[in-house]
Amino acid sequence: MKSELLNHCGYVAIVGRPNVGKSTLLNRILGQKISITTRKPQTTRHQILGIKTTADAQVVYVDTPGMHRGSKKAMNRYMNKAASSVINDVDVVLFVVDGVRWQDDDQAILENLKHVESPVILVLNKLDKLQDRALLLPHIQQMSERMNFKEIIPVSASKGENVASLETMVTSLLPASPAFFPEDQVTDKSERFVAAELVREKLMMRLGQEIPYSLTVEIEQFKLQKKVLHINALIWVERDNQKTIVIGKQGEMLKAVGKQARIEMESMFEKKVFLQLWVKVKDKWADDERALQNLGYTE
């Protein structure tokens, strides 16, 4: 097989605080959507593998939840653990930050990375949002004094600027190895998982600040019948008033979310999709370890 002849193969963790563009970077590298993205922080809740196979390398990127301080709920502790547990088990770490903005959470992550043996590349993302690029060089100098990074690379994940240079650097740091995955595999996640995430993404994009963090999506049915994918998705919230908001007046919110998610699923799965959504209340599910495990939040 062609994939057995690859020169380099390895794992690359993408880490950083919430909302710096980690998932956008992964999707850009892969050339397709694997991780959902919204403008709200903490959109990503799981480790998600994105696998890119080229003529001479296979790079297995691990997209992680945003690392943050103040882990009040079980969900927050789970996300922090999902992000921090990977950094010692990969060949390269991409530490993504928001341009020249540096926050306390960035510093906290940096302190963890100082103990990592693998090379760490600092990725200054959102280059397209930087109004004065003259700020870049002095900021890069400041960052190089904080830690001995293998490289500091400014990119725009949303526009694709300088991402190819980042990929070249990553590949050069990977060990010689045959491929870990078949060359046509792009992620470790099932279509069932992707369907749940697409529904959650559409909900996060339409709802206010608080509710998206109090809901999760569970797929109860995912079945192909006569060339049509029948998908039943259950949306769990924590309170009755949240259920009312998610459903919307005369069911309008739920219908709009369902339509958006179905259209994207049909494009992604290349099949006709029949999607049904329900909303149920489970009190304080996001702070219940057992409930989290039952809903798929496991290592």
pLDDT in tens, 21-41: 999 999 999 999 888 888 777
- pTM, to two decimals: 0.88
pLDDT in tens, 173-191: 999 999 999 999 999 999 9
User: Cα separation of 12 and 34, whole Å?
Assistant: 16
Q: For residue 259, give both structure tokens.
A: 């339509």
Residues spanned by the domain of 279: 191-294
pLDDT exceeds cutoff 70 at 1: no
pLDDT band at 45 (very low <50, low <70, confident <90, very high): confident
* Domain shared by 31 and 148, yes or no: yes
Q: Is residue 183 part of a domain?
A: no
pLDDT in tens, 194-249: 999 999 999 999 987 778 778 999 999 999 999 999 999 999 999 999 999 999 99
Q: Is residue 180 part of a domain?
A: no
* Domain shared by 16 and 145, yes or no: yes
* Domain shared by 44 and 110, yes or no: yes
The per-residue pLDDT for 6 is 58
Q: Burial, 151: exposed, middle or buried (Cβ in 10 Å; 0-12, 13-18, 19+)?
A: middle
Return the closest-CA partner of residue 142 out of 115, 161, 122, 119: 122
Q: Is residue 182 part of a domain?
A: no
* Domain shared by 67 and 150, yes or no: yes
Average of pLDDT values for 66-89? 76
Query: To 5 degrees, how large is the angle CA 288–CA 292–CA 12?
Result: 130
Q: Is residue 185 part of a domain?
A: no
Cβ 51 vs Cβ 185: under 8 Å: yes
pLDDT in tens, 117-176: 999 999 999 999 988 888 999 999 999 999 999 999 999 999 999 999 999 999 999 999
Looking up residue 242, the CATH number of its domain turns out to be: 3.30.300.20
* Domain shared by 119 and 245, yes or no: no
pLDDT band at 71 (very low <50, low <70, confident <90, very high): low
